[in-house]
Structure 1
Amino acid sequence: MSLNFTEIEAKWQKKWDESKAFKAEDNSQKPKYYALDMFPYPSGSGLHIGHMASYTPGDIISRYKRVNGFNVLHPMGYDAFGLPAEQYAIQTGIHPALTTRKAIESFRKTLQSFGFSFDWSREISTCEPEYYKWTQFIFLKLYERGLAYQKEVPVNWCPALKTVLANDEVIDGKSERGGHPVIRVPMKQWMLKITDYAERLLNDLDKLDWPERTKEGQRNWIGKSEGARVTFKVDGHGDSFEVFTTRPDTLFGVTFMVMAPEHPLVKKIASSAQAKAVEEYIFATSKKSEVDRKATTEKTGVFTGAHAVHPITGEKIQIWIADYVLMDYGTGAIMAVPGHDARDFEFATKFQIQIKRVLEGGDTLPFEGEGTLINSDFLNGLSQKDAIKQMLSHLEAKKLGVREVQYKLRDWLFSRQRYWGEPFPIVQFADGSRGVPVNELPVILPEVADYEPADTGEAPLARNTDWVRYISADGKEGRRETDTMPGAAGSSWYFLRYIDPHNSEAPFSPEAEKYWMPVDLYVGGPEHTVGHLLYSRFWMKVLFDCGLVTHDEPFKKLAHQGMILGPDGEKMSKSRGNVISPEDIAKTHGADAMRTFISFMGPVDKDKPWAPTGIDGVKRFLDRVSRLVVNDEGQYVATKDALTEDIQKLVHKTIKKVTDDIESMGFNTAISAMMILVNELYKTECRSELALKPLVQILAPFAPHLAEELWEKMGGEGLCSLAPWPKYDSNLVADDTVTMGVQVNGKMRGTIEIALTASEQEAVAAALAVSTISSVLAGKNPDKVIYKAGRILNLIVK
């Protein structure tokens, strides 16, 4: 190749930076387009090829929208609070701020070297006080509205990390980071009432242009259920407890009850004979994570020795405890109908508990389908739907239960017993907790002697006694909250800070929010479905209710990028030795080749194995484009010759194809179309600028450095990255001929290739020349012809 990609890439990155080519304008008459990538955690290991796969689609769209007359906001920042930097600090004693800052500098350099058109004037980092001041401000809004509260709850405690983890941070009973065992223990924690927004979070999914699997993932996580809350009394005690059921029609089939081991009544109602067994089972359960308890296949449990009284029949029913029932789901107790529930059937079979049939249907139990009610007193003979209505009315009339809607969604566990996070803007006084005045924000993260949490769960901040002690303006002494917020705090609103990142008086201005929001395109991984993507929607709705934003959904369109697998087809990992370094690819092939190859590998949302020969092929394609403009000696060879009719049509068809494909994010087929055009230009020895200029422009979103260089050599005006997108002529993209099916008496008999403007006489003549059609007609002329040019030809014979 005559053009040195290393020199070209450095040259144009410098020019883009100096000219602030990609700076978004706040006061523009242009239509806005906000393209956002999920920002990275700045780890010491640097950016990997997966980051490149994530950021390339958004950059292609941003570059395309920019040259189509949009005022594009395409920012980048860093999700900088979190465990890795803290763990490194514990091992080395180096402050997390230092390692994070160093990682950010490395990330920025790498991102700039690949030509991503970010507006670097809006760069943010969630660990900077100028940023987390406003994270604390938003937390105070949640607190003021009663959406942030403290409560002792069973939590996922990781002894190795010495911190609490949210449910989405635990995978197969182990911490997402590090893979350490996680157990359940009771602990006082800050919680956010995301459950108050369950219905809105569920309903508003319908108005989002998101992948259906992601919306369904959130629907399942929220888990709306309609049913009844039924009260059961404990025999021989003055106590009662409640269960929630979506199948109140099966109440006559209840043969035992199951409580979560943590249920507050368990120890109180356990008989003396069963007390020891109950205590031992509770202790064993505390060693299991919530995920393990939900995933377990073998049913275990212990009889408490106590009985419940059936609210309708008055029968005495055994009360058991089992770890598959969770205290923070529903009421912490269930009614078991083993005849019509597989889980209950398995439990009843194992512990030899009675099984009743109350629904007709199925040869064996458990029968979980719909059926007519039997053995159910006043419900006998009713369908499931009618029986549910009848039972709900009966329960309410007798004051034995109420209709209720429940959700699987739990309140968001929002505190962490670690150092590297946002301090809570909360002070504990003798008479309760209080938020600090807004004029005292930010509550700065102080220095501590060491970063490791205590085995007891006490956070590192507790050891800075001077910082912990607080004196209010009215002279009251209090104690600062020493837990910190989770990493998801800063990322739950960062998209709003980008729109006004230097505002010191507010998190963002109303004018900026009204103009820029919502995000038009958000690109990131599907693994954030029930974490970040749900939390961001929740915070946006709270801010909407506070009157701080004019939209209640943050992301209009969401796209997931597929994973880049190793050359062996496996997930990339150092242990497998199949990791591909972006920096290595940049040295051997260049940033443009890597960007183009990532786009060419396949559909954006599909996983794709890295193919070394594939990127070689893409680099050869870019070299061929280059040699259409300059020869191997670097001499300019493009001409101003007129185009042949065929090449002119192909150029316009390629412009249309690439335009349509970028709009639909079908990048791989857009590149295929450009490859076809390049092949034809070589075949016809066409080097005319009339073909090359539009080719370079439509290639620019994929290979921006090469495009800029060739654009300059051809005398293009200004930057190619800002030159208006080429328009295609609709007359030139229409096909002259069409393949049409020919019917005889309504039955397909063959096809013809014919001009779109062909007359009926010409179409019939072409059809009669086709052997399969003429043989059916057997020498007869059609008695009637139904013909619509380019669409229908039906020959009718009697």
Structure 2
Amino acid sequence: MEQLYDPNKIEEKWQKYWEEKETFKTDVWDFSKPKYYVLDMFPYPSGVGLHAGHPEGYTATDIVSRMKRMQGYNVLHPMGYDSFGLPAEQYAVSTGNHPNGFTEKNIESFSKQLKELGFDYDWSKMIATSDPKFYKWTQWIFKQLYLDGYAKYIDMPVNWCEELGTVLSNDEVIDGKSERGGYPVIRKNMKQWVINQPAFAEKLLEGLEEIDWPESTKDMQRHWIGKSEGVEVDLEIVGGGNFSIYTTCIETIYGITFMVLAPDGQIVKDLMPRIENKEEVEAYINETLKKNDMDRTELNKTKSGCILKGIYAINPVNGKEVPLFIGDFVLASYGTGAVMAVPSHDQRDFEYAMVHNIPMIQVIDGADVSEKAFEKGDYLGKGCKLMNSEEFTGLTVEEAKGAITEKLSKMGVARKSVNYHFREWIFARQRYWGEPVPVVYTENDEIHVLSDNELPLILPVLEDYKGKNGKAPLENATEWKQYEKDGVKGKRETSTMPGSAGSSWYFMRYIDPDNQEEFANQELLKHWLPVDLYIGGPEHAVGHLMYSRIWNRYLYDKGLSPVKEPFKKLVHQGMILGSNGIKMGKRFPEFVVNPSDIIRDYGADTLRLYEMFMGPLEVSKPWNQQGVEGARKFINRVWTFFTNEENITDDNKDSLTKVYHQTVKKVTSDFEQLGFNTAISQMMIFVNSVYKVGSCPREYAEGFIKMYSCICPHVGEEMWNVLGHNNTLANESWPTYDEDAIKEDTITIGVQVNGKVKGTVELSVDEENDSALAKAKEVPTVAKAIEGNAIVKEIYVKGKIINIVVK
């Protein structure tokens, strides 16, 4: 009677074995083997636990990790938790719990679920960003950034919600109101901690050329950094004052018909006493302050603004006076806070001019200055010549760039400049659940940074951690925030670091998580970095992935990281959708799949096998319950055959030799390329073959089980045990293949007559020229084509084609 695989009996057994034997514990000091560091983007420890999407990426790294270990690598495959920050705090608030303590319970729950899936994590290396032993070093790295001038405390415009008493990020503001609660949000200047991202821009761009990442992700980072090369020009204001603009199209400077300033910038504030329509301008500024940067730039459709009556700037190339406007699409925090406007040759300027009835001057010949032209995108007139540009008329656009820049440079009002879209990384949150910033504001209004022996600065336990009356929650820690030591008196910083702080360097701490003397031993870092394979979602392309590159690059420049780039190869897994083809979530709860339910009903190996067989790893795929059933059936099919002693023999090697070696070659290659669905297909071909033959040589059975166990480790270990092995197969050697055994004995090639294919012929791979041609002529369709014709030439390209030329 067929004995079906029972996961309830087997999976817990092997999970217990792996834990007790510390099967996957990595000796990081063992340098005798080549290293392989494989990493998952660590999760937020939500009490909700795993969702169907989590196991996909985790299983992928697990498969590669298991294969590499069997190939003789010393594998580091750790897991931890991004347990500080907004997601953990919001979940605690929504469930009526306190983040302190509740987060630890969630970590325990999450770890239990991960262990139930049989992942080969080295749990002795586990970290959590909210653990003081970890965030001591987050604070230490921040301290170094501050001492080296990269972390700064500056006045800058922020999204401020008075009702919530905190700064909000751009994506937390919708139509001028807070996403949570719908409270009014305004833009105002506040003292904030920032990290100078632009200082790393050029190095980050260069680093993208050195890493194996998806091109789409690289392009997103390049766009986010936004490098441009142009000219910065100084302009005088009639009646006194000046400002600068930055442009990449200096050749169009004779076409300026107006300038636009940031409504909330210092230039407008300084001009306010001279503005004739002051009330109108102030009203517009107040409306602008209700919008976030996204609304003002990417989402700006109306091109709103107003003129500054009585205020004019002087175009330095011709001395003409041009009116000044304000428009919310210009940001005080980006560039110079002012832009030149050439509506004849810039779409944004054209649209603004149409709304405000501003004249245009065409300065590039052949550029159609019409709405239709802008739709076609040919309004820049590249390759055309200048017109209406005084002595530069007749020059090509390319020639004019250099000539006009040279003229303005000699006048002392312009210089070549490189600009970046990159802005400072706001590194302070008026929230509770985060790393305390290790600085004190002294009574003399100076910043005092804590000494190393005062770290970690522990986050105090607060019952009321929500903050009120516009104050950060840590303002309620009355005793904690007061500081006095060695003659220094003052008040601690009460903002905390963002959740992205700990995740910007956590991959280093896994290598040496218990080190109390440094964030990680330098010799270990040199051996283990960079991470060889990193798998995680594409939503982190310009957040976590950018921040971690910045922190790593800073530490590299300081001699504390051995590599310029932390992640050698990056892969984004696709999303697991509901069976309705839509992202699983609250909107369609009936389509949400809880992986714990699948494990309970089918076993962890079934879930792992199904998710790897759904399709290419990088592609989003809808859940299909029939597919789960099919995965379970395949596991039963494998289990039934390979646990039957009568099927395992030393016979029939010849009949399975080719398919076995083909399987080893393809599975090995596909695992390396993360093509798990095609690897499983090849395994199915092999299993069909052994069923057809009725038996399988022990060598082939054991080789297959090793490969299969990477996907279904519990079944694999049990079958290995049934075959007479008392140890785990995790450290066995990976099967090898013989290329000669895979070679085909015969090949099928096309036969052409006068260049047109007339048929095919099957030949031996070693077929001689005369024999090949003779067999080709015997093919009925070929024989008919050459019948009665004189053969002029016969060509046989071995293994590829036969061509017979007749007349």
Say whether the fold is shared (TM-score over 0.5). yes
The answer as to 2:728 corresponding to 1:719 is yes
1:676 maps to 2:682: no
Trace 1:495-510 onto structure 2 (pairs within 5 A).
Answer: 495-510=507-522
CA-CA distance at 1:122 after TM superposition: 0.1
Instruction: Please say if residues 638 and 714 of structure 1, whose CA atoms lie closer than 8 Å, have aligned partners that are also in contact.
Output: no
Corresponding residue SS for 1:36: strand
> Which of 391, 395, 399 in structure 2 is aligned with 1:382?
395
Aligned match for 1:599, one of 612, 630, 637: 612
| Number of aligned positions between the proteins | 791
Residue among 736, 756, 759 paired with 2:765: 756
Residue in structure 2 matched with residue 266 of structure 1 by the alignment: 268
TM-aligned CA distance change 1:781 to 1:177, over 3 Å: farther
User: Is the Cα–Cα contact under 8 Å of residues 153 and 189 in structure 1 kept in the other structure?
Assistant: yes
Alignment correspondent of 1:193: 196
Change (3 A) 1:215 1:84: closer
Q: Does 1:549 align with 2:549?
A: no
Residue correspondence of structure 1 range 600-749 to structure 2 within 5 A? 600-630=613-643, 636-716=645-725, 718-749=727-758
Displacement of 1:386? 0.9
Does residue 1:299 correspond to 2:312, yes or no? no
- Partner residue in 1 for 2:343: 338
> Is the CA contact (8 Å cut-off) linking 1:745 and 1:797 kept in structure 2?
yes
Deviations 1:695-726 (A, max 9, x none): 21111110010000001101236212221111
Deviation of 1:774 after TM superposition, in Å, equals 2.5
Q: Tell me if 1:768 matches 2:777.
A: yes
**In the alignment, is residue 441 of structure 1 matched against residue 450 of structure 2?**
no
Deviation for aligned residue 1:780? 4.5
Equivalent positions of 1:181-580 (< 5 A) are 183-237=186-240, 239-270=241-272, 271-294=274-297, 295-305=299-309, 306-365=311-370, 367-370=379-382, 371-429=384-442, 430-456=444-470, 458-473=471-486, 475-577=487-589, 578-580=591-593
Percent identity over the alignment is 48
User: Distance between the aligned counterparts of 2:496 and 2:703, measured in 1?
Assistant: 54
Shift of 1:313: 1.4
Q: C-alpha deviations, 1:564-589, integer Å up to 9, x for none?
A: 00011110013302110010000111
Q: Work out whether 1:152 is the aligned partner of 2:155.
A: yes
Cross-structure match for 2:166: 163
Could you tell me how far 1:182 is from its partner in structure 2? Answer: 5.8
Query: What is the CA-CA distance between 1:94 and the residue it aligns to?
Result: 3.6
One-letter code of the match for 1:539? Answer: W
In structure 2, give the amino acid aligned to 1:378: E
Q: Tell whether the 8 Å contact from 1:449 to 1:463 is kept in structure 2 after alignment.
A: no
CA RMSD of aligned residues (A): 2.0
Q: CA-to-partner distance for each residue in 1:269-291, whole Å, 9 max, x for gaps?
A: 24453111111111111111111
- Contact kept in structure 2, 1:85 and 1:99, CA below 8 Å: no
Assess if the C-alpha contact under 8 Å between 2:312 and 2:324 holds in 1: yes
Q: Is the 8 A contact 2:606 2:628 kept in 1?
A: yes
Cα separation, 1, equivalents of 2:677 and 2:92: 43
User: Secondary structure of the residue that 1:721 maps to in structure 2?
Assistant: coil
* CA positional deviation for 1:673: 0.6
| Matching of residues 119-138 of structure 1 within 5 Å | 119-138=122-141
CA contact (8 A) 1:359 1:374 kept: yes
- Give the whole-Å Cα distance in 1 for the aligned partners of 2:44 and 2:90: 14
Q: Equivalents in 2 of 1:50, 1:83: separation in Å?
A: 21
- Please report how far the alpha carbon of residue 98 of structure 1 lies from its aligned counterpart in structure 2 after TM superposition: 1.1
Mapping 1:579-590, distance limit 5 Å: 579-590=592-603
Partners in 1 of 2:659 and 2:60 — Cα distance?
Answer: 26
Q: How far apart are the structure 1 equivalents of 2:805 and 2:39?
A: 59
Return closer, same or farther for 1:358/1:642 CA change in 2, 3 Å cut-off.
same
Would you say 1:113 and 2:116 are equivalent positions? yes
Residues 168, 530 of structure 1: 8 Å contact kept: no
Letter in 1 for 2:51: H
Find 1:34's aligned residue among 32, 37, 40: 37
TM-score normalised by L of structure 2: 0.95
- Equivalent position amino acid for 1:302 in 2: C
Task: Check if 1:49 corresponds to 2:52.
Answer: yes
Q: Runs in 1 of length 4+ with deviation above 6 angstroms? A: 168-181
Letter matched to residue 248 of structure 1: I
**Deviation digits for residues 169-205 of structure 1 (CA, Å, limit 9, x no counterpart):** 7789787889988653322100101100101101110
Q: Calculate the TM-score normalised by the size of structure 1.
A: 0.96
Which stretch shifts more, 183-192 or 242-251? 183-192
Residue equivalent to 2:145: 142
Question: Post-superposition shift, 1:494?
Answer: 0.1
Task: Structure 2: give runs of 5+ residues left out of the alignment.
Answer: none
User: 2: distance between equivalents of 1:248 and 1:34?
Assistant: 49
Amino acid at match of 2:289: S
Aligned counterparts of 1:593 and 1:784: Cα–Cα separation in 2: 60
Once residues 37 and 22 of structure 1 are traced to their aligned partners in structure 2, the CA distance between those partners, rounded to angstroms, is 16
Contact 2:344/2:369 (<8 A) preserved: no
CA distance in 1, matches of 2:183, 2:699: 62
Say whether the 8 Å CA contact 1:90–1:450 is kept in structure 2: no
Are 1:360 and 1:373, in contact at CA under 8 Å, matched by a contact in 2?
yes
Give the 3-state SS of the residue equivalent to 2:647 in structure 1: coil
CA–CA separation in structure 1 for the residues paired with 2:164 and 2:582: 29
Preserved contact between residue 156 and residue 290 of structure 1 (Cα < 8 Å): no
The CA distance in 1 between the partners of 2:80 and 2:180, in whole Å, is 22
1 CA distance for matches of 2:184 and 2:48? 24
Judge conservation of contact 1:127–1:421 (CA < 8 Å) in 2.
yes
Amino acid at match of 2:465: Y
**In 2: Cα distance, 1:10 partner to 1:158 partner:** 50
Rounded to whole Å, the distance in 2 between the matches of 1:778 and 1:200 is 71
1:615-638 CA-partner distances (Å, limit 9, x unpaired): 11111011000010236xxxx443
Change (3 A) 1:92 1:58: closer
Contact in 1 for aligned 2:648/2:701 (Cα 8 Å): no
Unaligned runs of 5+ in 1: none
Residue pair 2:160, 2:188 contacting (<8 A) in 1 also: yes
Aligned equivalents of 1:359, 1:91: Cα separation in 2: 59
Deviation at 1:157, TM superposition (A): 3.5
Q: Which amino acid aligns with 2:450?
A: V
Q: Residue 700 of structure 2: SS of its match in structure 1?
A: helix
For the residues of structure 1 that align with 2:289 and 2:82, how far apart are their CA atoms? 33
C-alpha spacing 1:165/1:565, structure 2 compared with 1 (3 Å): same
Change (3 A) 1:662 1:743: same
Aligned to 2:25: 23
Report the AA paired with residue 4 of structure 2. S
